[in-house]
Every structure is written in C-alpha cells, then in structure tokens.
Amino acid sequence: MIQVTRKDSKEGVENLIRRFNRKVQSAGVMAAAKNNEFFTKPMSKRDRRDKAIIRKARKADKMKKIRLGQK
C-alpha cells in the first residue's frame, strides 16, 4: 500500500497527486495489475518460442507490404 502525505499545509493537491503517481509507477503496482488483468494458460517454453517466431514472421511480412505500398 502506497501512502503519500503532504509535506506542509501549503502543498497543493496537484503536487500531491503527482508524487503519488510517481511512487505508484516506480513501485510497479500498475504493471503488476495489468499483468494479472487476464488469465493466460501456462505454456511450455517450446510453444512460446514457436508462437514468437510466427509473430515475428507475420510482422516482417506486414512491414514488407507496407513498404511496397500494397497495404
């Protein structure tokens, strides 16, 4: 749990929110929440590698078509 308190009574709300957002981002709270947003089935290392190779090939093909002006 991240807590931020005012430095003094004159500190503005904007500064307080900005410091809070920085602490949340540096602690990695949002990244962890986004990782847990959707359930993913456990996958073997070989399957992950195969899917990554397919993704990379599709992306390369897409970029090639864009460069040639086909899509």
Give the 3-state secondary structure percentages of the chain, helix then strand then coil, rounded to 5: 65, 0, 35
User: Tokens 């390369």 label which residue?
Assistant: 60
What is the pLDDT at residue 18?
A: 94
Residue 34 to residue 49: CA distance in whole angstroms: 23
Average pLDDT, stretch 10-18? 92
Tell me, yes or no, whether 47 and 71 share the same domain. yes
How crowded is the C-beta side of 18, counted as CA atoms within 13 Å? 5
Tell me, yes or no, whether 29 and 1 share the same domain. yes
Q: pLDDT tens for residues 16-56?
A: 999 999 999 999 999 999 999 998 889 999 999 999 999 99
Tell me, yes or no, whether 14 and 33 share the same domain. yes
Parent domain of 2: 1-39
The one-letter amino acid code at 18 reads R
Does residue 15 carry a pLDDT above 80? yes
Number of domains in the chain: 2
Residue 46 to residue 42: CA distance in whole angstroms: 12
What is the pLDDT at residue 4?
A: 86
